[in-house]
Amino acid sequence: NAGVMQNPRHLVRRRGQEARLRCSPMKGHSHVYWYRQLPEEGLKFMVYLQKENIIDESGMPKERFSAEFPKEGPSILRIQQVVRGDSAAYFCASSRTGDYGYTFGSGTRLTVV
């Protein structure tokens, strides 16, 4: 039973490009969460999704960021027109239901040059 799979592990984008980060939850998990870890800072919640629904996006920046979790396929975190301040580690987590703890992926490290 594979864990939470995130890809790519490392992503380099030039300022103004788009970044797409993918997350496949553990088998049987229908809840997906995205967190961001800025350099030398703690993990901050971004968005919580279930299949085809955004449940809580209160941690998402108002512009340029979007997330989806389609009926088929992985969850996608999309960052448009990236800036240097978007450089961070982005972690995805999944859970079976809210009654259990989370399982985290290994993260995608985004570097904007």
Partner 1 sequence: KQEVTQIPAALSVPEGENLVLNCSFTDSAIYNLQWFRQDPGKGLTSLLLIQSSQREQTSGRLNASLDKSSGRSTLYIAASQPGDSATYLCAVMETSGSRLTFGEGTQLTVNP
Radius of gyration of the chain (CA): 13
Alpha helices, DSSP H, located in the chain? none
**Residue 107 binds partner 1, judged by CB under 8 A:** yes
* Burial group, residue 111, by CB count within 10 angstroms (0-12, 13-18, 19+): middle
Report the nearest approach of partner 1 to the CB of residue 41 (Å): 8
Six-digit token string for 9: 């592990």
Which of these segments, 20-28, 64-72, 80-88, 101-109, binds partner 1 (CB under 8 A)? 101-109
Report the nearest approach of partner 1 to the CB of residue 67 (Å): 13
Which residues of this protein are in contact with partner 1, per CB under 8 A? 31, 33, 35, 41-45, 48, 55-56, 59, 91, 93, 95, 97-107, 109
